[in-house]
Structure 1
């Protein structure tokens, strides 16, 4: 006898199960009747052929019996409402997470609670320090007068805190901490590797200011170090980077010096005077200061942005990671730790010196959002978000308190085998790699059990479709890049992080859905296709979990989260379907409510992570070099974000069959094209608060007599037409293009970062002769450089040659009065040198040695021993030296008697609002030594 279910399958094909645009085949009853029957269960999966006889029959019979026409129900309305509700849920999750992610604590303005009188961390106190350092002092570049002024200011303020603590101890009778202070001035050298380049660093008169709070000798054997630097880079007043860190440490010293002495360990605060010069001051402290052997761990306070919470992005011991649990506003993940370790983030901190030369463990924390203003003239207090100093300060104070009062610092061990992450900034989770492996095995076992019980029904067909959808999400957005570049509008997304998702997200989603369309089985119901896709997602993430766990990747916890969420959702789906279909029936569809369950946690968490990813990487593309394929990088990243935002969308896409899915794909392509065209017509990559980074150097070549202006940029966005052409008109001089690859020494003053630049070069000689009031300069045929006095010099002393070994020895002396940041470069095969921090390479190569000195350092020396053919086989040494003028005060050393002809002054004053300048003047010369 033919069963009722067979009759139904023979006579009633669900209208949503049609493969293309054909009309539904309906016998006996109207399509509206069947739709009405289908939607009576709000979480039904349309097009299922094995729904269970009782439930389907009763629904149809009820609908027939009512004899009621539901003309308001139509297929498009049901599709839209079903998709709309689910997408609305996802948007709601992202919106809530957005609010949580960008919320900072309320600033505190008083140093004591006005009600209880208790000491409290005050953001206003921090900002007073920041404002003085950035507005009153300005650009605090190592070797300038401003650096000396900053040192004197910090010593004065710290001495005042020391005196206040002494008076408070006498007044209250409490045992307050011992307050010790040192000022270290040191010389040294170290090797600095960055992006495949090696630079040897020398420094002289490098200054550190050190404060220690302690309970006495019993505390001093084990100390925790808090570090921040007070110098700035070229072209920036450095409010967040790193006056903020200095202000935070100053406020922590105020609070801790007025509290009872620490019970267990002392705390050392290092105000280091040379981080931007390639980490010289931190190297000097950790290799030369008397406290170095007492330091057990470090907390480094840094910034590469001006807003949002600071993030824990490097950590290398279980004990220090566990200590981070004590902070009130945790924000950190091992994802950032693993990402930073790849070298993809073009940044570095003093943390490297403490780890490499002090063998320390610790935490590296930095402000990272809105890094458009990082290392620019806009890194000012006014652009530093309210609540940011409070966030960093309360976290750092909590760490310092815990580490001095409770932590055991005697046996800290380095390890990268720790999993850690914050949960929406509310609390912090950390556990060992052993615990991680155990949890991964349990999660994998639970996932396998769902396959055994048929709650999960993965197929090879479905698994391949998921993998191809992921590849499509990463690669297909690159077609948008081709279109943007064809329209001549690259980097449209730069000034608006969200725009990257609008430009690349729809096409990524279309690619993801496209493979689901191709792999949709016509012979199976839509429910079976859904279940296969969701189950295959589980398998893909379970495999990723296994591989990442096998290679020891701590970030594998993200795959565990996905696997666990899908597994629970499939178990839920199995139970719900079993209740609907009755016992003994096989589950062949996905209940609508399952998608809400499977998306809740992963979408919430990865929205939180992806906000950070966009905040970090999109501004970064403005400084990673003219040859970097930044559009492609952002396209791939946007595709990745699109995929991880809600992978269950791949299963959901099957819900209404291939015809509807095809229309969705076409709609996404249309949205994509419209977004590209509108953006290209109305958007520009840069604006005042999202500026293009322009590098300017006025070079006076003592060898050739040329006076040249170099203009460079650090991203592949528009440069010549909007900027260089105007400078050409300004100086009435035509620019010549010079590539970095064929002219590697053009920007040696900022080596090794010169590898990211390419230049346009203008001759400024005629401009200087035209503008000067000095007739000697305007009428003399001699090179202008002949009139420069006190130029830097290199001389060779103690020259000797040993014919038996073929070694030539010499001492190079450099004098550079009123110049800073000298760089020498040469090619040779060195046997030895006086730089004790590392040995020279055992083969002929190109050397670059940078010297930086505190104010005032007018010279340096180095001893070399190189292979030569004789005593007269000299080294050709190129020398660059940077002038001390400029750097925020809009001045430049003039040729004597030349009047107001400052080239850099003219450039700075004519700066377009959408640019930010890193500018300086240098002299270059070559010597045979």
Structure 2
């Protein structure tokens, strides 16, 4: 525990001191805990802001170091909000933290701090001391961090309560023997657990190997179903050339199979381009703002969200709209069949709205590409790709199979909203609800955490 010389240290790290003292008071007055069987060390270090001198001295010289089986480090980069489990090593011990009343943790924070190379007392214990443990910290409202404004009055009481309750609950789990302290961990070759909380109520954990297997299964299903659907549908259409094809417009054109495959690849490229444009446009806005009025969004996360979020949305929508124009132009230029033998001779295939399986297969293949990238890179913070894929891909696969099955057996399902079925409007949106909420929550957290850092 240490503060910079010019700061009152209300949050960093006065909040940690009072939390530890209150937790200690509760533990020593808990009759269910017998300290003859398990020991508790409360360590207040010094020189953390200079060179981690206190933690280094304990790890290097103290005889008690060999007896430590778990450690809990309490730090702060903010003064309000829930205290997050920023880092944990080895990742397997995060399952013990899942038992606290209101877990607040995400593996993205772990990888961000590792990327920034930020060292705290936790670094000495986990990296140099090779001890398993946890690193907790406030991260919201970090504008007063290491300043004269870091007064005790700025620390939110609810934040202290949340940190204290979770620290006390985790300490009791350890001291009451509900945690296997004799299990050995390899803290060097670790990082195989992904973890994140759901709205601050439940902690989800799974292994990276599980993520790889699930993504590989989804990739296989997407590729297999996409190929089989196009091939079988093409064979079916050749046997029923006079059918009123309300599911696809491609059989009104020559070289239908070539056209369908070509459009799948073009749809994939257009989707990837929309993502790239959606990323590049906010970068351009950021560059222009840095020249016109640097840090104009500092202190206002809502302004930052709209300042950079809207260009991202506009870029993606514009790219898709441009492709829609090109799509209709290609349809108009592609050679058409003689439609005299078809039932729907009065229908213009260029302007017809129909079930476009190629677009949906292409969307699934985009998810497959993203999952392949996630597997190859191996970053745990890319778990968001799996979250989106596991909710979106199955529903699209199910609907594609349903549409084709009804078509092949000549079963006419009642239509709503014209030729497009109602579930194509609502089902994907409903399936995307959970990953969308989680994505917005994580975006908000990252903005609130990183924005104060920009002014340091």
RMSD: 2.9
| 2:273 is aligned with 1:447 | no
Indicate which of 180, 201, 204 corresponds to 1:408. Answer: 180
Measured in 2, the distance between the counterparts of 1:528 and 1:342 equals 47
Alignment of 1:72-83 (within 5 A): none
Is 2:80–2:140's contact at 8 Å kept on the other side of the alignment?
Answer: yes
Alignment of 1:579-594 (within 5 A): 583-584=409-410, 591-594=424-427
| 2:451 is aligned with 1:606 | no
Q: Give the aligned partner of residue 141 of structure 2.
A: 370
Report the structure, 1 or 2, having the larger strand content. 1
| 2:362 is aligned with 1:536 | yes
| 2:372 is aligned with 1:546 | yes
Task: Give the TM-score of the pair, scaled to structure 2.
Answer: 0.78
Change (3 A) 1:300 1:535: farther
| 2:302 is aligned with 1:498 | yes
Stretches of structure 2 that go unaligned for 5 or more consecutive residues are 234-259, 332-349, 414-418
Write the deviation string for residues 317-344 of structure 1: whole angstroms up to 9, x where unpaired: 244111111111111122222222222x
Q: Give the aligned partner of residue 519 of structure 1.
A: 323
- Describe the SS at the equivalent of 1:462: helix
- Describe the SS at the equivalent of 1:421: strand
- Describe the SS at the equivalent of 1:614: helix
Write the deviation string for residues 726-767 of structure 1: whole angstroms up to 9, x where unpaired: xxxxxxxxxxxxxxxxxxxxxxxxxxxxxxxxxxxxxxxxxx
Indicate which of 127, 132, 137 corresponds to 1:356. Answer: 127
- Describe the SS at the equivalent of 1:419: strand
Is 1:569–1:594's contact at 8 Å kept on the other side of the alignment?
Answer: yes
Change (3 A) 1:535 1:619: farther
Stretches of structure 1 that go unaligned for 5 or more consecutive residues are 1-228, 624-929
Measured in 2, the distance between the counterparts of 1:395 and 1:268 equals 18
Write the deviation string for residues 213-253 of structure 1: whole angstroms up to 9, x where unpaired: xxxxxxxxxxxxxxxx1x21133211111111111111111
Change (3 A) 1:482 1:333: closer
Alignment of 1:57-96 (within 5 A): none
Is 2:396–2:428's contact at 8 Å kept on the other side of the alignment?
Answer: no
Q: Give the aligned partner of residue 421 of structure 1.
A: 196
Measured in 1, the distance between the counterparts of 2:352 and 2:88 equals 47
Is 2:15–2:155's contact at 8 Å kept on the other side of the alignment?
Answer: no
Residue 399 (structure 1) shift: 1.0
Measured in 2, the distance between the counterparts of 1:235 and 1:478 equals 36
Residue 390 (structure 1) shift: 0.9
- Describe the SS at the equivalent of 1:314: strand
Measured in 2, the distance between the counterparts of 1:378 and 1:512 equals 41
Indicate which of 441, 450, 456 corresponds to 1:617. Answer: 450
Residue 254 (structure 1) shift: 0.5
Write the deviation string for residues 844-876 of structure 1: whole angstroms up to 9, x where unpaired: xxxxxxxxxxxxxxxxxxxxxxxxxxxxxxxxx
Measured in 2, the distance between the counterparts of 1:384 and 1:586 equals 64
Residue 531 (structure 1) shift: 5.3
Q: Give the aligned partner of residue 239 of structure 1.
A: 10
Larger radius of gyration: 1
Residue 424 (structure 1) shift: 1.4
Change (3 A) 1:341 1:582: same
- Describe the SS at the equivalent of 1:477: helix
Alignment of 1:698-717 (within 5 A): none
Q: Give the paired residue count.
A: 391
Is 1:267–1:400's contact at 8 Å kept on the other side of the alignment?
Answer: no
Is 1:463–1:540's contact at 8 Å kept on the other side of the alignment?
Answer: yes
Change (3 A) 1:265 1:434: farther
Indicate which of 487, 504, 508 corresponds to 2:312. Answer: 508
- Describe the SS at the equivalent of 2:137: strand
Measured in 1, the distance between the counterparts of 2:28 and 2:154 equals 30
| 2:285 is aligned with 1:480 | yes
Report the structure, 1 or 2, having the larger helix content. 2
| 2:389 is aligned with 1:563 | yes
Is 1:417–1:552's contact at 8 Å kept on the other side of the alignment?
Answer: no
Residue 453 (structure 1) shift: 5.6
| 2:72 is aligned with 1:283 | no
Measured in 1, the distance between the counterparts of 2:399 and 2:351 equals 17
- Describe the SS at the equivalent of 1:360: coil
Is 2:92–2:193's contact at 8 Å kept on the other side of the alignment?
Answer: no
Residue 525 (structure 1) shift: 6.0
If asked which structure has higher relative contact order (CA below 8 Å, sep 6+), I would say 2
Residue 583 (structure 1) shift: 4.0
Q: Give the aligned partner of residue 342 of structure 2.
A: none
- Describe the SS at the equivalent of 1:300: strand
Is 2:100–2:166's contact at 8 Å kept on the other side of the alignment?
Answer: yes
Measured in 1, the distance between the counterparts of 2:219 and 2:136 equals 34
Change (3 A) 1:332 1:528: farther
Q: Give the aligned partner of residue 573 of structure 1.
A: 399
Measured in 2, the distance between the counterparts of 1:539 and 1:559 equals 13
Is 1:447–1:538's contact at 8 Å kept on the other side of the alignment?
Answer: yes
Indicate which of 467, 470, 486 corresponds to 2:272. Answer: 467
| 2:97 is aligned with 1:324 | yes
